[in-house]
Structure 1
Amino acid sequence: MNYPIEDPLLFHNLQEKNMTFENVYARIIRFMNLSHNGNYRLMIGTDSQVHLKSTIFITGIVILNEGKGAWACIRRVSMPRRMERLHERISYETSLTEEIVSLFTEERKSNMIDIVLPYIYQGASFTMEGHIDIGSGNRNKTRIYVEEMTARIEAMGLEPKIKPESFVASSYANRFTK
């Protein structure tokens, strides 16, 4: 059995390398504390690319303050084989997203909500989204998995997003899978 080669939950972006999840969470809190009355979307999504002898999975975490900027990072996992079966790959992408989402415990989510809560009557908001690199269009091969994968994301308490709205998976993470 080929098991994934993954770092022990390390993340990076253009400015920082080898961040633990605690570092990532601290960066998200710091970003949100810059503007308590923001409209925040915490988005998590995974994309993959099959290479010659492996399959690369990238999970992106993006905290967006609508119209005012974002902070983002990625995690890379390499499976030492070609995962060519589409369902297996999409399911594993969703599992990696679920793994990261599970790190946002109820306490952590409450801490993020507490930042915007005093400002909700001034328009502040906070949502969590799971971005899945699948689409429902007739010409999209992944359309048969939409119901299954969105149900998994909903079960985690997130709002599922599919193409064209799943840009963390289909655009941000995708850039790093090549």
Structure 2
Amino acid sequence: MQQWRKFNGEIIPRPIEEEIKQALMKERDAGNKMRVCIGTDSQVKNRRVEFATVIVFVREGKGGFMYIRNETVQRKMPVKQRMLEEVQRSIDAAYSLCQLFIAFNVEMEIHADINTNPNFKSNTALKEAMGYIWGMGFAFKAKPHAFASSSCADKMVH
């Protein structure tokens, strides 16, 4: 089981699907309209790449909350591969939760930390990432509109 935690550092002791279902029921009962944004960012240190995936819940007009998972891999990888691995991690999280979001009528989008400006290295992965995300049936946002990956996940990578 992959280790998810809350923003305050509290470890989620049960499967993330159960945690999210409880959170969605609580938010629905409180009358909150929600949307969810899933994104991943990474940072390279020597031959290590650390990924941080976030599931960000935005309450309409009332702030939000998020869940975080960090993973480290011990290998060197080119920028394009790293960008696509970020997208893969976001899709994995989205795919495992999408039936819940459908059941609770929660809008979901995947945020990719990929720049739409061709002058940036990450742009080399833009077309493949968009095709992959749309091909899986998910909504897609890239920089500068991808706050889940470029702001939230970015702060969670050590």
**TM superposition score normalised by structure 1:** 0.79
Can you list the C-alpha shifts for 1:121-175, whole angstroms capped at 9, x where unaligned? xxxxx42100000011132222232121011111222210000110110110111
Q: Which residue is 1:66 aligned to?
A: 60
Q: Which residue is 2:129 aligned to?
A: 149
1:111 and 2:107 are equivalent in the alignment = no
Who wins on radius of gyration, i.e. which is larger?
1
1:31 to 1:57, Cα distance in 2 relative to 1, 3 A: same
Query: Unaligned stretches of 5+ in structure 2?
Result: none
Q: Which residue is 1:123 aligned to?
A: none
Correspondence list, 1:93-132, <5 A: 93-106=86-99, 108-113=100-105, 126-132=106-112
1:81 to 1:153, Cα distance in 2 relative to 1, 3 A: same
- Find the aligned partners of 2:118 and 2:135 in 1 and give their Cα distance: 26
Could you tell me which of 24, 34, 44 is aligned with 1:50?
Answer: 44
Give RMSD over aligned pairs. Answer: 1.7
Structure with more of its chain in strand, by fraction: 2
Can you list the C-alpha shifts for 1:32-80, whole angstroms capped at 9, x where unaligned? 43225x2x22110100001134110000001101321112110111102
1:166 and 2:158 are equivalent in the alignment = no
- Find the aligned partners of 1:105 and 1:165 in 2 and give their Cα distance: 21
> What is the CA-CA distance between 1:30 and the residue it aligns to?
1.9
Query: Unaligned stretches of 5+ in structure 1?
Result: 1-7, 114-125
User: Which AA in structure 2 matches 1:176?
Assistant: M
Q: How much identity, in percent, do the aligned residues show?
A: 26
1:132 to 1:57, Cα distance in 2 relative to 1, 3 A: same
**TM superposition score normalised by structure 2:** 0.88
1:140 and 2:136 are equivalent in the alignment = no
